[in-house]
């Protein structure tokens, strides 16, 4: 059986959503509530933000259930090489930038854009967030 892929475009960027990969971490709609609107159908409105904002948010998806494709020759802009950490209210740590993560066995994961690290302790994919904070009742 082929996995479902849904596509939503604003004419510059196409957002691709693979619901089978989604863990409902809520990073997308917390970051861009005018684009990712769970109460609406379709729940993605790519006209609700700029292409740059959409790309930045889609790159934060911890499971890669959200991806993007640029249409034509629109260049992706990268304005800063700084690595930053954002603590999401009642959610994970979001790390943006280029860095590596070493696990307790010394295995390294190279990250070129962003990841979400578990803060609630309930993730089954530790140290990465799998959205378990939404169901465990985790609060700051």
Residues of the chain with CATH 3.40.5: 84-136
Q: What percent of the chain has pLDDT over 70?
A: 91
pTM for the structure as a whole: 0.62
What's 6-70's CATH class?
alpha beta
Tell me: the pLDDT tens digits for 41-77?
999 999 999 999 999 899 888 778 899 999 875 555 5
Beta-bridge partner residues of 114:
96
Contacts 24+ apart (CB under 8 A), 2-6: 6/42, 6/44
Residues of the chain with CATH 3.30.70.20: 6-70
Tell me: the pLDDT tens digits for 74-97?
555 545 578 888 888 888 888 888
What's 84-136's CATH class?
alpha beta
- Say how far apart CA 32 and CA 78 lie, in whole Å: 19
- CA-atom Rg of the chain in angstroms: 15
Minimal CA–CA distance to 134: which of 25, 61, 21?
25
């Amino acid at each position: 059986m082929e996995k479902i892929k849904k596509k939503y475009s604003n004419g510059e960027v196409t957002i691709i959503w693979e619901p089978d990969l989604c863990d409902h971490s809520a990073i997308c709609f917390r970051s861009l509530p005018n684009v990712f609107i769970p109460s609406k159908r379709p729940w993605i409105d790519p006209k609700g933000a700029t292409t740059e904002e959409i790309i930045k948010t889609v790159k934060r998806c911890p499971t890669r259930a959200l991806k993007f494709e640029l249409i034509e020759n629109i260049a992706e802009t990268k304005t800063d090489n700084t690595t930053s950490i954002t603590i999401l209210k009642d959610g994970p740590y979001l790390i943006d930038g280029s860095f590596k993560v070493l696990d307790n066995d010394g295995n390294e994961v190279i990250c070129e854009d962003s990841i979400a690290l578990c803060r609630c302790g309930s993730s089954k994919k530790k140290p990465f967030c799998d959205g378990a904070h939404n169901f465990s009742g985790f609060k700051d």
